[in-house]
């Protein structure tokens, strides 16, 4: 048993082999990974300090520091300043570690697109906002309220969206929902009630969004996307009277809807009396210049604006919003009421305080440089380890599109990388046909620290070279 027996110093059994070629750091990492995977060390378990463990093992502290840092990068451990290092809350446990284990390996390096870094969530400021919301809220605010959401939140959002995104946002035309997912479902039901039986979607786009629209009883019609955004000429030839677009940063290709296309799209909406559903999902993150304003600000009666806190703060908040044309507010609010009687009020009031106190502005100013540095690290690592790959799209958001070298089998690479503990995502899965003209990967970088990005891309490069 390592560690001194005190009431506050955690202990773990960590035997090391003193044999030539068996590096102590590697052994520490292997022993801890095995214990976490097997459930011997459960999520939340505190580990000895690096100084204490190094002393008990007779090693330099730097060896233990490096081992802990590697496991933090891989997601097995989590460490916060001023606190002990613990087994990560989401760490894999209970899995067989034998040579014949059949289950998939938990990604050591997960390049999942669209995922923010949860460790950057502003816990202290959020706690202060929750306290302020509970302190100031009248008793009536804790009962059943307006299905559109708490009035203070809708007012705060109207001001923020108008100031930051150029949205024409009257608080009376905002409906709060549990993330963009619910917002899209609500819109699907309203559009169907208006006699629309199909929605055009960008191709490629997120398959989950297509499923949600179809779940609401409507068909989806794929419309191609090129370097200037959605092909409005194809949209004009189609039958749809509603279209879902990501104009600020197209997912997954990473392009911006060009000015001529924006004008053509709005002209299509006016001429056909159609509706544009604008998903503004990560427009806050533009690294090469100021972001373009929302499409809704130009035509608020033709464009339904949707946003959420998932990419700005954390998906766990389940907090989203719709800014609607005047004629659709009552219909959306009625369906929202029948669905769940309204979104959680306490979280909504806390977010209102967070917005009003400048908390969100401060948070975004802190995280933008971090995410930009991680994108830069990804681009640099690709240049070193996969020089034939090409990064496409603008410098923005939480993901990058990476075209693979000629002759590379996208699906085979994704499967092989998974077997080696690297989570990568092929662009073909985002196409309606399941086939992409050019093999490519959609790589998220925001949730990975720079050392993990470098290590994961280096290993991916080795797999490509060996293939």
Supply the pLDDT for residue 129.
97
- CA angle (157, 159, 165) in 5-degree steps: 85
Given the candidates 3.90.1150.10, 3.40.50.300, 1.10.4030.10, 1.10.260.40, the CATH classification of the domain at 363-466 is 3.90.1150.10
pLDDT digits (tens, 9 = 90+) for 396-434: 999 999 999 988 999 999 999 999 999 999 999 999 999
Instruction: Indicate the SS3 state at residue 247.
Output: coil
Question: DSSP character for 399?
Answer: E
CA atoms within 13 A on the CB side of 69: 12
The model's pTM: 0.77
Supply the pLDDT for residue 240.
95
pLDDT digits (tens, 9 = 90+) for 207-261: 999 999 998 889 999 999 999 999 999 999 999 999 999 999 999 999 999 999 9
User: What's the pLDDT band for 386 if we cut at 50, 70, 90?
Assistant: very high
CATH code, residues 24-99: 1.10.10.10
Q: How far is residue 63's CA from residue 447's CA, in Å, rounded to a whole number?
A: 25
User: What's the pLDDT band for 7 if we cut at 50, 70, 90?
Assistant: very low
pLDDT digits (tens, 9 = 90+) for 121-148: 999 999 999 999 999 999 999 999 999 9
CA-CA distances (angstroms) from residue 207 to 172, 202, 302, 429?
32, 10, 25, 8
pLDDT digits (tens, 9 = 90+) for 435-462: 898 999 999 999 999 999 999 999 999 9
Given the candidates 3.40.190.10, 3.40.640.10, 3.40.50.300, 1.20.1300.10, the CATH classification of the domain at 123-361 is 3.40.640.10
pLDDT digits (tens, 9 = 90+) for 177-195: 999 999 999 999 999 999 9
| Alpha helix (H) residue ranges in 357-399 | 359-385
Residue 335, pLDDT above cutoff 90: yes
pLDDT digits (tens, 9 = 90+) for 350-364: 999 999 999 999 999
Outline which parts of the chain fall under CATH 1.10.10.10: 24-99
User: What's the pLDDT band for 20 if we cut at 50, 70, 90?
Assistant: low
């Amino acid at each position: 048993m390592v560690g001194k027996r005190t009431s506050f110093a955690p202990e773990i059994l960590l035997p090391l082999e003193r044999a030539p070629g068996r590096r102590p750091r590697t052994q520490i990492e292997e022993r801890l990974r095995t214990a976490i995977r097997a459930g011997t060390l459960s999520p939340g378990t505190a580990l000895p300090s690096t100084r204490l463990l190094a002393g008990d093992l007779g090693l330099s502290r730097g060896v233990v520091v490096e081992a802990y840092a590697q496991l933090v990068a891989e997601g097995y451990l989590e460490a916060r300043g001023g606190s002990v290092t613990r087994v990560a809350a989401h760490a894999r446990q209970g899995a067989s570690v034998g040579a014949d284990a059949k289950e998939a390996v938990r990604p050591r390096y997960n390049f999942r697109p669209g995922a923010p870094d949860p460790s950057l969530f502003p816990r202290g400021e959020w706690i202060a906002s929750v306290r302020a919301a509970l302190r100031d809220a009248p008793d009536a605010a804790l009962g059943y309220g307006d299905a559109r959401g708490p009035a203070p939140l809708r007012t705060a959002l109207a001001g923020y969206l108008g100031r930051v995104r150029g949205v024409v946002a009257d608080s009376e035309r905002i409906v709060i929902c549990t993330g963009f997912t619910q917002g899209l479902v609500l819109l699907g039901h309203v559009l169907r009630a208006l006699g629309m039986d199909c929605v055009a979607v960008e191709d490629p786009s997120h398959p989950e969004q297509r499923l949600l629209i179809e779940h609401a009883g409507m068909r989806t019609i794929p419309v191609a996307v090129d370097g200037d955004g959605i092909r409005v000429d194809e949209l004009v030839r189609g039958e749809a009277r509603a279209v879902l677009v990501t104009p600020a940063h197209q997912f997954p290709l990473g392009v911006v809807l060009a000015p001529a296309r924006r004008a053509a799209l709005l002209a299509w909406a006016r001429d056909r009396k159609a509706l544009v559903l604008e998903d503004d999902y990560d427009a806050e993150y533009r690294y090469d210049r100021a972001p373009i304003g929302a499409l809704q600000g130009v035509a608020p009666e033709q464009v339904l604006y949707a946003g959420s806190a998932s990419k700005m703060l954390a998906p766990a908040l389940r907090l989203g919003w719709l800014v609607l044309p005047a004629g659709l507010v009552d219909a959306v609010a009625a369906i929202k009421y029948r669905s769940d009687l309204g979104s959680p009020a306490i979280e909504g009031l806390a977010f209102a305080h967070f917005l009003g106190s400048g908390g969100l502005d401060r948070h975004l100013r802190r995280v933008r440089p971090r995410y930009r540095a991680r994108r830069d690290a990804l681009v640099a690592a690709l240049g070193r380890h996969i020089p034939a790959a090409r990064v496409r799209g603008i410098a923005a958001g939480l993901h990058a599109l990476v075209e693979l070298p000629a002759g590379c089998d996208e699906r085979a690479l994704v499967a092989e990388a998974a077997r080696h503990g690297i989570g990568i995502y092929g662009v073909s899965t985002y196409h309606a046909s399941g086939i992409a003209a050019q093999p490519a990967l959609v790589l998220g970088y925001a949730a990975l620290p720079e050392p993990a990005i470098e290590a994961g891309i280096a290993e991916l490069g080795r797999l490509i070279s060996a293939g």
